[in-house]
Chain A
Amino acid sequence: MSDAISALNHAQFTGFAEVEECGLQGMITLRGDLTSKPLIAGARTAGGRDGRDGKMPKMGMAEVAISVADRNGVCWMSPDEVLVLCPYDKVEAQLMALTTKLGKTHALAVNVSDARAMFRVSGGTAAREVLAKLCPVDMSPGAFKPGMFRRTRMAQVAAAFWMDDSEDIYIICFRSVAQYVFDLLKIAAQPGSQVGVY
């Protein structure tokens, strides 16, 4: 079998903030009643959140850990949808574990990993500024905080992002617009174009 490769295969750009395509990331879309116990248990297992407090992330929040050792998480997408993140090579197994936990619960779970692309923008307040240039979202440190998850538009396409504890921003978009989003981020992070509002 041929090797799976992400949309831009770790493309990088260094401007006043760092932009990087994150490579392959497992993603499962899960829709259903977010208060249903089997659904919560399934999402937490598949998203590698076992042994935490056993709840869904609250409205507008995400619980994600992306590191060398970890690529897991659960993100609140809408009142009836969460996005489960897991390592790319584990996605089928995690989907199976999720489906097993769901049992007969009315829900929908689909592997969407190959339909998406993921980026990281880092550089502290500089990263906030890159996003602020592209999205109609208040990115000031008082308004957008680590742990928050926001679906919005990035210039002309849909995007979703969250911020981790080191204030790196992770962006998810459709794979078909990955190049467009990378180009946007590069232009927004161009050296010399920093506004310095934050």
Chain B
Amino acid sequence: MLILHCPYCGVKGEETEFAPGGEAHLARHGPGSTDDDFKSYLFSRKNPRGVHFERWRHASGCGKWFHAARATDTLEVYATYKAQTLAPPKQVLDIIAKKRPGWNI
């Protein structure tokens, strides 16, 4: 089970209070994009064994979307951070680098 900290309401809650929203930081390719870009936006996901950046929503709580950096193999949550960003913030990457030496985004 995951314990997630909601960066909007400060609640440290367990997984069932949240709703998963899939891979984070996808670039949206909409009308006018190439078929390849559109296809990869719709269907291609990293699905790594290890560090993963995800979107989550505090569904039964404050209702806000946020991001989580966690490990898919150990289920460790490295950090959660606000949704108003296009990429993981540096301090989140630093936390991961410390715990997973040699890991690259």
Contact check, A150 vs B11: say whether CB atoms are below 8 A apart: yes
A79 contacts the other chain (Cβ, under 8 Å)? yes
Give every chain B residue within 8 A of A81 (Cβ-Cβ): 62
B8 contacts the other chain (Cβ, under 8 Å)? yes
Contact check, A59 vs B14: say whether CB atoms are below 8 A apart: no
Q: Within the complex, what minimum Cβ distance (angstroms) separates B13 from chain A?
A: 6
Q: Which residues A24-47 have CB closer than 8 A to chain B? A: none
How many chain A residues have a CB neighbour from B under 8 Å?
13
Complex CA–CA separation, A59 to B9 (angstroms): 6
A151 contacts the other chain (Cβ, under 8 Å)? yes
Mark contacts of B51-79 with chain A using CB atoms, 8 A cut-off: 1 yes-contact digit, 0 otherwise: 00000000011111000000000000000
Contact check, B16 vs A78: say whether CB atoms are below 8 A apart: no
* The one of A79, A137, A150, A158 that contacts B8, using a Cβ cutoff of 8 Å: A79
Give every chain A residue within 8 A of B48 (Cβ-Cβ): none
Q: Within the complex, what minimum Cβ distance (angstroms) separates A112 from chain B?
A: 15
Mark contacts of A6-24 with chain B using CB atoms, 8 A cut-off: 1 yes-contact digit, 0 otherwise: 0000000000000000000
* The one of B14, B60, B64 that contacts A158, using a Cβ cutoff of 8 Å: B60
Q: Within the complex, what minimum Cβ distance (angstroms) separates B63 from chain A?
A: 6
Contact check, B17 vs A78: say whether CB atoms are below 8 A apart: no
Contact check, A151 vs B62: say whether CB atoms are below 8 A apart: yes
Q: Within the complex, what minimum Cβ distance (angstroms) separates A102 from chain B?
A: 22
B10 contacts the other chain (Cβ, under 8 Å)? yes
Q: Within the complex, what minimum Cβ distance (angstroms) separates A34 from chain B?
A: 12
Closest 7 CB pairs of A and B: A78-B62, A153-B60, A151-B61, A136-B14, A158-B60, A79-B8, A59-B10
Residues of A at under 8 Å CB distance from B? 59-60, 77-79, 81, 136-137, 150-153, 158
Known: A59-B10, A158-B60. 12 other contacts (CB 8 A): A78-B8, A78-B61, A78-B62, A78-B64, A79-B9, A79-B62, A81-B62, A136-B16, A150-B11, A151-B9, A151-B11, A153-B17
